[in-house]
């Protein structure tokens, strides 16, 4: 069986294929996630014919966040966002759901970097506190 690319390499390829502001936004978000949690594990999930490159996912004791590129925005969905304190008000999408919360970033925008790192750290704490199985 030939060597399969790593999830990180697959994410690199996805970012290269975007080649615009969405790639730059996801690259910066990816760096912030790694700064916030050096033990984060990258994965690519939900690969299917309609989305052959899948969805970049960052995990620590379960999914922390996914990053999806749409035509006019980048969506960062926190798997347990409803359980997180968000004093900076970063969440601006999916606010009615009972579990997930998302941040939609449009061209020319960027999240408050320190507040985003804190949100990632809080997501790790929630996952670890739940004793979820998965990557650690």
The answer to whether 64 and 58 have CB atoms below 8 angstroms apart is yes
Q: How confident is the model at residue 2 (pLDDT cuts 50, 70, 90)?
A: low
Judge: domain 7-129, CATH 3.90.1150: yes
Q: How confident is the model at residue 132 (pLDDT cuts 50, 70, 90)?
A: very low
pLDDT in tens, 34-48: 999 999 999 999 988
| pLDDT value at 4 more than 90 | no
Is the pTM higher than 0.85? The answer reads yes
| pLDDT value at 23 more than 50 | yes
pLDDT in tens, 28-78: 999 999 999 999 999 999 988 888 888 999 999 999 999 999 999 999 999
* Phi, psi torsion values for 59, nearest 5 degrees: -130, 150
- Each domain of the chain, given as residue ranges in start order, spans 7-129
Instruction: Return the structure tokens found at 33.
Output: 């996630």
Amino acid 136: pLDDT:
38
pLDDT in tens, 78-121: 999 999 999 999 999 888 878 899 999 999 999 999 999 999 99
Give CA 136 to chain center in angstroms. 16
| pLDDT value at 134 more than 50 | no
Contacts for 16 with CB less than 8 Å, ≥ 6 apart = 23
Mean pLDDT of all residues belonging to the chain = 90
Instruction: Return the structure tokens found at 4.
Output: 């399969």
Strand partners, 105: 74
Amino acid 26: pLDDT:
95
């Amino acid at each position: 069986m030939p060597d399969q690319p790593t999830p990180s390499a697959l994410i690199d390829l996805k970012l290269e294929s975007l080649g615009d502001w969405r790639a730059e936004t996801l690259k910066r978000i990816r760096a912030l996630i790694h700064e916030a949690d050096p033990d984060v594990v990258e994965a690519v999930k939900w690969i299917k014919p309609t989305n052959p490159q899948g969805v970049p996912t960052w995990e620590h004791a379960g999914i922390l966040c996914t990053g999806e590129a749409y035509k006019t925005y980048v969506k960062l969905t926190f798997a347990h966002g409803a359980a997180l304190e968000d004093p900076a008000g970063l969440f601006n999408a999916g606010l009615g759901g009972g579990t997930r919360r998302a941040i939609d970033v449009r061209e020319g925008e960027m999240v408050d970097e320190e507040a985003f790192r804190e949100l990632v750290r809080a997501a790790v704490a929630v996952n670890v506190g739940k004793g979820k199985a998965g990557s650690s």
